[in-house]
Amino acid sequence: MKKKSLVFFLLGLLSLAPSLGGDGKTGEVKKVGNPAPAGAPVKEIEISAKKYEFAPAQIEVPVNTLVRFHLKATDREHGFELKSVKDSCVKYKPEQPATLEFYADKAGELEFSCCKFCGTGHGKMKGKLVVK
């Protein structure tokens, strides 16, 4: 009987594993792009997402800055993705905010968008990160 209980307990833990990675539930931070050097300045950005917009929709940061996006949905599940950065999509819900870090090591403009279909206006849910 003890073996069965242990097996069910372990199976329960395994079923939780996909929900523990990088989605804000455990305070984890998803890091994308090139790693930031030690001592790089950090810019904390609070972004809220709602039907069908990000606020703020345009963000400016200095080059060579570690940008820490704190993402919060106010109405339903949304996603945040830096379009030109591989594997940068992070999904989050109103009760489960998320954090994404990106080292802005090159000047230019990066588009960000919602990567979780959220309704008819989903395609218009975009913004811009300007690195100067």
Q: Is residue 4 part of a domain?
A: no
Where residue 1 falls among pLDDT bands split at 50, 70, 90?
low
In this structure, is residue 1 part of a structural domain?
no
Asked if the model's pLDDT at residue 5 lies above 80, the reply is: no
CATH number at residue 110: 2.60.40.420
Q: What value does the mean pLDDT of the chain take? A: 85
C-alpha to C-alpha distance for 52 and 50, rounded to whole angstroms:
5
Count of domains observed in the chain: 1
Q: How many CA atoms lie within 13 A of 20 on its CB side?
A: 5
Q: Is 27 helix (H, G, I), strand (E, B) or coil?
A: coil
Cα 86 to its chain centre, rounded Å, is 13
What pTM was computed for the model? 0.78
Residue 9 maps to a domain: no
Q: How far apart are the C-alpha atoms of 100 and 112, rounded to whole Å?
A: 12
Give domain status of residue 66, yes or no: yes
